[in-house]
Amino acid sequence: MASQSEVIDRLRATFRSGVTFPEQFRMTQLQNLLYLVEENEQLIQDALHKDLHKPKFESVLSEIQITLNDLYFAMENLRTWMQPEYNIGKNLATRMDDCFIRREPLGVVLIIGAWNYPLHLILLPLVAAIAAGNCAILKPSEICQATEQLLAELIPKYLSQDCYAVLCGGAEDTKSLLKNKFDHIFYTGSQVVARSILLAAAPHLTPVTLELGGKSPCFIYGHIDIQKAAKRLCWSKFFNTGQSCVAPDYVLCTAQTRDALLPALRETLRTFYGPDPGASLDMGRIVTPHHWRRLMDMLEKSKGKVVIGGESREEDRYIAPTVLVDVQESDALMQEEIFGPILPILTIESLEEGIDYINRQEKPLALYVFSDETSVVTTVLNNTSSGGFCGNDGIVHMALPGLPFGGVGASGMGSYHGRWGFETFSHRRGCMNRSWLLERVNVLRYPPYSDYNLGWLRWATTFKKNSWGGCSVM
């Protein structure tokens, strides 16, 4: 088996040959990746069920179809994305010049996936890397071993082995991998590991995209259809057993809304998963015993009152959908992202108090507002900051390829999905081909210098509207 450095050297030699640059090559590789997903759908479902006990419905919706949709979107728009951009602002001095922006591939990129969505969180960045013309090394999460091994088996069968490679292994293997120079590192995971990624990238001045997480609030305020809100909240929170970076982490609402919401949550959970969620085929499991113990430790330390759920089984890593009330800002559940099927409810008395609470915390990856009052949704949107925002639903905003997906502040840096991923893995090269015309203007910049020439040159290079009968963009 080739060493890490040998694999990287092979991919770098391929990139320098220019084989990944043409549109046809990129399109062929995207088509082959599409075939990989379509022709192995059952194998993918089996691997995800083995790793996370994911039901077929969730595997198809959140792993397979979201990947296919991003592929369809990229293949449909690739030619447009690759075209030079000519809508560039000019002044009189550059009026006759050819000015444009080229999107060029970065080189050999490293994509490090996460365990909670072990297929789509590594294949969507790969779609973007291929579309942008890069070579890529994939490092799947070792926690989901069945999916990791499936990717290691399928990628070489469907994609060019000279351009794309899968490297498996644990944390020490990843540390070793990060000692190598890459042209971009794309990481999805925790804030703790992200800091290590940044430290490893710094000696090589390697640009980094970090897709992290955080405590994404669901703010329920004002007049609201409580039954609909309960259904959308339960689905987005307990989808994938709460192991989603964009899952609602906690609820903010008034005491009156909380009292109306609780019976609706009980009814919804019973409808979704039956009287015993542990027996439901639609309820997944916590990924490892370590992650299960972490969640149970948080739950045991909490001073909140469990009003729904709370049941658990260590032998099969089960935790029932659990809701707590009387939770304070200092509670154990509020100190870090929960990443499991545990939902604390915090009470506030006013819209302003809720917004102030959100703004006291680190900027979240997503922010959700449930309200029938448009003014409430707009007010929260205008007075907060988050990676993404969704009014009156949860999670679904990340499934639209036309929207950028990414964090801000502690929840990450950079974005992807659709065109945004293409831009992440591209260098925007500013280009100017100068004309030999208008030399009368150009001679103004040559020595010997004079105030007269300087005055004319300032006029010819200004972008102030109507300064020379034109405007800034031509």
Give catalytic residues, as residue numbers: 211, 245
CA-based radius of gyration for the chain: 26
DSSP letters, 436-472, are S--HHHHGGGSSSP-HHHHHHHHHHH---TTSSSS-S
DSSP letters, 108-130, are EEEEE--SSSTTHHHHHHHHHHH
Q: How far apart are the first and last CA of the chain?
A: 56
Q: How do the residues of the chain divide into helix, strand and coil, expressed in percent and rounded to 5?
A: 45, 15, 35
DSSP β-ladder status, 164-166 and 318-319: unpaired
Report the SS3 class of residue 376.
helix
Question: Which residues are within 8 A (CB) of 37 and not within 5 positions of it... i.e. 6 or more apart?
Answer: 44, 64, 67, 68, 71, 123
Whether the upstream peptide bond of residue 217 has omega within 30° of 0, thus cis, is: no
Structure tokens at 79: 């030619």
Structure tokens at 203: 């000696």
Whether residue 319 contacts residue 295, with contact meaning beta carbons closer than 8 Å, is answered with: yes
Sheet holding 342-347, edge to edge: 305-308, 322-325, 342-347, 250-253, 217-220, 366-370, 388-391
Question: Which residues are within 8 A (CB) of 351 and not within 5 positions of it... i.e. 6 or more apart?
Answer: 221, 222, 376, 379, 380
Angle of helix 120-131 relative to helix 23-39, nearest 10 degrees? 160
User: Which burial class, exposed, middle or buried, applies to 138 when counting CB atoms under 10 A from its CB (0-12, 13-18, 19+)?
Assistant: buried
One-letter identity of residue 14 = T
Q: Is the dihedral of CA 230, 232, 233, 234 positive or negative?
A: positive
